[in-house]
């Protein structure tokens, strides 16, 4: 999801934000006469499933004309967009069926892994498409999906790796590209990447070969 947005010209930042803040979108100011750049910021303390939903939600704020919508309706529209973007109607119906009276735990976990979304968001999307009715949604949250609104089941990203997967990498790649092409100096690359010079140099050159070991 991050890679897709960056390919389309959006700048994505995954940074530490207060826990209640999922993310936001803004225009990044640039010096002189350069055009401002659209940017989306997401909270790297949140699970990957939630970050992906936040990216889609904030993308909606960049695409949807909301001038005529009250703030509450704008948020609803962004949530609907995010669910549809990550879980397209026709594909979801092929995977689940056009109407279901019940859903089991294992099937829901497999589906959330397929679409890389939160279990709660998956259930809400199923309700939006009338694949399940309101009673089935309520029962799911009271049974197999109990607690899913606050605790993500079987997270895609281990807690020890929180914020590392689907991170923004395009800027880093561009820095190493410029460094390899000698468009910027090693010290400038380290400054831009906010990393020690020896570390950046090691990443550029790769691991040292053990010549001695090869001759043994």
| 30-50 residue pLDDT tens | 887 888 888 999 999 999 999
Task: Compare 98 and 7 and report the one with higher pLDDT.
Answer: 98
β 11-15/37-43 pair status: parallel
The per-residue b/e assignment along 119-153, b for 16 or more CB within 10 angstroms, e otherwise, is bbbbbbbbbbbebbeeebbebbbeebbeebeeebb
pLDDT (0 to 100) of residue 35: 86
The ranges assigned to domains in the chain are: 2-161, 170-207
Confidence band (pLDDT; 50, 70, 90) for 28? confident
In three-state secondary structure terms, 27 is strand
Residue 209: pLDDT band (50, 70, 90) is low
* Rounded CA separation 52/91 (Å): 18
Does the pLDDT at position 212 exceed 50? no
Q: Sign of torsion, CA 16 8 123 79?
A: positive
**In this predicted structure, what is the pLDDT of residue 214?**
52
Mean pLDDT over 98-122 rounds to: 96
For residues 18 and 36, the answer to whether their CB atoms sit within 8 Å is: no
Residue 210, pLDDT above cutoff 80: no
What is the predicted pLDDT for the residue at 173?
Answer: 87
């Amino acid at each position: 999801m991050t890679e897709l947005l960056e390919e389309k010209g959006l700048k994505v930042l995954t940074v530490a934000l207060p826990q209640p803040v999922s993310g936001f979108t803004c225009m990044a100011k640039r010096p002189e006469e350069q055009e401002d750049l659209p940017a989306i910021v997401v909270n790297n303390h949140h699970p990957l499933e939630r970050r992906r939903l936040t990216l889609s939600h904030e993308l909606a704020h960049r695409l949807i004309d909301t001038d005529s919508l009250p703030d509450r309706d704008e948020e609803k529209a962004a949530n609907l967009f995010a669910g549809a973007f990550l879980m397209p109607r026709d594909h979801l119906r092929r995977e689940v069926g056009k109407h279901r009276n019940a859903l089991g735990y294992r099937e829901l976990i497999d589906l959330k892994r397929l679409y890389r979304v939160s279990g709660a968001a998956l259930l809400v999307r199923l309700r939006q498409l009338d694949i399940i009715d309101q009673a089935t949604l309520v029962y799911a949250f009271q049974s197999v999906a109990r607690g899913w609104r606050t605790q993500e089941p079987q997270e895609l990203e281990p807690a020890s790796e929180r914020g590392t997967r689907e991170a923004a990498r395009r800027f880093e790649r561009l820095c190493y590209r410029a460094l390899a092409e000698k468009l910027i100096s090693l010290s400038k690359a380290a400054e831009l990447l906010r990393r020690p010079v020896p570390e950046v140099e090691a990443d550029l050159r790769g691991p040292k070969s053990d010549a001695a070991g090869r001759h043994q």
